[in-house]
Structure 1
């Protein structure tokens, strides 16, 4: 049997985070939803998506996210994993962390 996969969209510091997880349920803390078993693409070598890499680093040691119900925008059960993202809450545009460039010589 295949475990269900959920796409969870929630507000965090003025941005909309879109993550994928295997477990989502009402938490033991009143008013919170537990999101566990986060799913990220695993790529060795070249980083294909810097946003996915940033999210994986940010949530690397997270066992369970306890999200306040009022910050959750949507929870979808999906067939396959899409791209995790961080979007601007106002415009919906993806927030892309630019690749660091070397400093200009003076």
Structure 2
């Protein structure tokens, strides 16, 4: 079985936590290559809005080239946890709320 990595990095004032199967020093100097991103597959009714947002943003990405200075941590893990987007200042999760129906006027 291929190793699984948890990558924590800074992007646009937020801390992203993604999972991937491949990590390498990039061909571009100063970049780390992150490939084979892993997302949860939900067959049921419950959908994690953060996971969906990450899948929308990175789902078609073959290789993510991250500047080394943006990487906070890379961990080799046994199993996938919950992907997250956190506020860089507070560390609190940034939750994307479900759209609510508009109030009738």
Q: TM-score, normalised by structure 1?
A: 0.95
Q: TM-score, normalised by structure 2?
A: 0.96
| CA distance in 1: counterparts of 2:17 and 2:93, whole angstroms | 11
| CA distance in 2: counterparts of 1:81 and 1:45, whole angstroms | 18
Offset, 1:46:
2.2
Match of 2:73 in 1: 74
Unaligned runs of 5+ in 1: none
Match of 2:20 in 1: 21
Structure 1 window deviating more from structure 2 (77-86 vs 36-45): it is: 36-45
Offset, 1:61:
1.0
Runs of 4+ in 1 over 3 A off after TM superposition: none
1:9/1:72 contact within 8 Å kept = yes
| CA distance in 1: counterparts of 2:28 and 2:46, whole angstroms | 37
Match of 2:101 in 1: 102
Structure 1 window deviating more from structure 2 (52-61 vs 65-74): it is: 52-61
Offset, 1:22:
0.2
Paired residues, number: 105
Q: Deviations over 1:33-74 (max 9, x none)?
A: 000000000113524211011101111110000000000000
